[in-house]
Structure 1
Amino acid sequence: MRIPRIYHPEPLTAETGVTLSDEAASHVARVLRMQPGDMLTLFDGSNLTFTALITHADKKHVKVQLQSMQEDDRESPLHLHLGQVMSRGEKMEFTIQKAVELGVNVITPLLSERCGVKLDAERQAKKVQQWRKIAIAACEQSGRNRLPEIRDVMALEDWCAEPDTGLKLNLHPRAKQRINTLPLPVTRLRLLIGPEGGLSEEEINLTAHYDFTDILLGPRVLRTETTALTAITALQVRFGDLG
């Protein structure tokens, strides 16, 4: 049986007792129905993992005793920052979950001219908190021990204007360059994925102004969530640790 992996939001030290967060305790006790004597793996985002013995478990509180500690680096050599124009409903959640599994380091939700998601500041903040929880769950499932950063929502132009020393890519249906023709090596990359209706001509010109390189994935038109995952996978194969 696979030992469950649980994220702990505070730094951990071997051979100490720890009380799990309320959310983690609820998952361990109510969902997994684990009992004292069962084992967990805890990680705190520092690339360290800890074996942990459950010493107390009820519906509200779970306490563990940390035992052995080991470094477990599963991060890609490619630092990848995804700028994703927000998509409707579960599509954005799906994109974030799979991007985390594929090794993305930073995700910034974006607003663009044709973005179909209209949220006020309060609802944006709630969405971001929800997406951060999805990222944590994806790390627990996939074995990542560093949490990717899920940033607050930004306007497309503000994001494009941020200083970045890495390669900057924008997917464009009329681009001539493909991922497999980009020169090696690349260790830092910023990837822009537009909305379901695509970027406007003015926004495409904006990306060119900020030195984004247009690339083409292939001959077929992909949905925005398919585009993100296809591009991330291809970039990890070309520059990262897949394949």
Structure 2
Amino acid sequence: MPRFHCPVPLSAGTELDLPAAAARHVQVLRHQPGDVITLFNGEGGQWSATILRMGRSDVAVKVEAFEDVEREPVRRVHLAMGMPANERMDWLVEKAAELGVASLQPLHTAHSVLRLSGDRAAKKQGHWQSVAVAACEQCGGNRVPTVAPVADLSAWLRGSEGLTPLRCVLSLAEGSRPLSEVLGDHPAGTPVLFLSGPEGGLSPQEDAQAREAGFRPVTLGPRVLRAETAALAALVQALA
């Protein structure tokens, strides 16, 4: 059954007009009155809904039964990453959302190629949030990860203490422990925050700043992975 994100309060028996993005999606798929669709608002669970009316730019539905289904991982994993360039960031957001990431924090770092500020940064944040929504619609996730506003690494590190019980920085520096070992030191459901670099990784100075801020240096193995691959590999290990 087609799934649509509807970020408004939902309850059985309510009739409502779908938000603009969901309405456009329903129209693109050429649904008709009487068709049954699935709605989720990101707060857990999902609802069946029947299409009542298809206007030129609006879609009215009646919310039906609630299904108390949960498809989220036991461990909440947050990802802060130096933004890879071009379409790689879109791909990273999409795949992280499919896998079940809890939140995403785009960062400017010393080696970042992509630099955003002002309206351009806000538009990119909105675009990435839409990518996360679409990924959840496709994969069955009922809680959409939040994409935070773009931040500078140094300023973000100063406010990172206490975000999660376990904070790790993906590092190639000597003394980094295998991620599997670090995860094994904590209960299976312990929330974790990963910091990863862009193309070229974090600079030595940034790696040191992260350690000073309480991030544990971890390695994914002897191979040097692309920025987007490394972030997703860490996410997969933590969610396994």
Give 4+ residue runs of structure 1 displaced > 4 Å after superposition: none
Partner of 1:192: 195
Q: Which amino acid aligns with 2:17?
A: T
Question: Where do 1:155-170 residues align within 5 Å?
Answer: 155-161=152-158, 162-164=160-162, 165-170=164-169
**Deviation digits for residues 44-95 of structure 1 (CA, Å, limit 9, x no counterpart):** 1110211001111133111111111122122212111100111111100110
The answer to whether the aligner puts 1:22 opposite 2:24 as a matched pair is no
Q: Which amino acid aligns with 1:119?
A: L
Partner of 1:241: none
Q: Which amino acid aligns with 1:78?
A: R
Q: Determine if contact 2:105/2:150 at 8 Å carries over to the other structure.
A: yes
Q: How far does residue 205 in structure 1 lie from its aligned partner after superposition? A: 0.8
Q: Which amino acid aligns with 1:66?
A: V
Q: Determine if contact 1:26/1:59 at 8 Å carries over to the other structure.
A: no
The answer to whether the aligner puts 1:202 opposite 2:205 as a matched pair is yes
Query: Aligned partners of 2:78, 2:154: CA distance in 1, in Å?
Result: 16
Distance 1:160 1:120, change over 3 A: closer
The answer to whether the aligner puts 1:234 opposite 2:237 as a matched pair is yes
Query: Aligned partners of 1:8, 1:176: CA distance in 2, in Å?
Result: 43
Query: Aligned partners of 1:58, 1:35: CA distance in 2, in Å?
Result: 10
The answer to whether the aligner puts 1:171 opposite 2:173 as a matched pair is no
Q: How far does residue 7 in structure 1 lie from its aligned partner after superposition? A: 0.7
Partner of 2:181: 181
Q: Determine if contact 1:42/1:52 at 8 Å carries over to the other structure.
A: yes
Q: How far does residue 39 in structure 1 lie from its aligned partner after superposition? A: 0.7
Q: Determine if contact 1:107/1:149 at 8 Å carries over to the other structure.
A: yes
* Identity over aligned pairs, percent: 38
**Deviation digits for residues 100-125 of structure 1 (CA, Å, limit 9, x no counterpart):** 11111111100111111122311101
State the TM-score, normalizing by the size of structure 1. 0.92
218, 221, 224: which one aligns with 1:218: 221
**Deviation digits for residues 111-141 of structure 1 (CA, Å, limit 9, x no counterpart):** 1111111223111011001011111111111
Query: Aligned partners of 2:87, 2:117: CA distance in 1, in Å?
Result: 18
Query: Aligned partners of 1:34, 1:184: CA distance in 2, in Å?
Result: 48
Q: Which amino acid aligns with 1:151?
A: A
Cα RMSD over matched residues?
1.2
Partner of 2:62: 65
Q: Name whichever of 159-168 and 74-83 sits farther off.
A: 159-168
Q: Determine if contact 2:80/2:194 at 8 Å carries over to the other structure.
A: yes
Give aligned pairs, total: 234
Q: Secondary structure at the match of 1:93?
A: helix
Which consecutive residues of structure 2, in runs of 5 or more, have no partner in the other structure? none
Q: How far does residue 155 in structure 1 lie from its aligned partner after superposition? A: 1.1
Q: How far does residue 157 in structure 1 lie from its aligned partner after superposition? A: 1.7
Q: Name whichever of 167-176 and 14-23 sits farther off.
A: 167-176
Query: Aligned partners of 1:109, 1:74: CA distance in 2, in Å?
Result: 25
**Deviation digits for residues 131-164 of structure 1 (CA, Å, limit 9, x no counterpart):** 1111111111111111211110111122222222
Q: Determine if contact 2:76/2:191 at 8 Å carries over to the other structure.
A: yes
Query: Aligned partners of 2:135, 2:75: CA distance in 1, in Å?
Result: 19
Q: Which amino acid aligns with 2:42?
A: G
Q: How far does residue 99 in structure 1 lie from its aligned partner after superposition? A: 0.7
Q: How far does residue 176 in structure 1 lie from its aligned partner after superposition? A: 3.9
Distance 1:179 1:146, change over 3 A: same
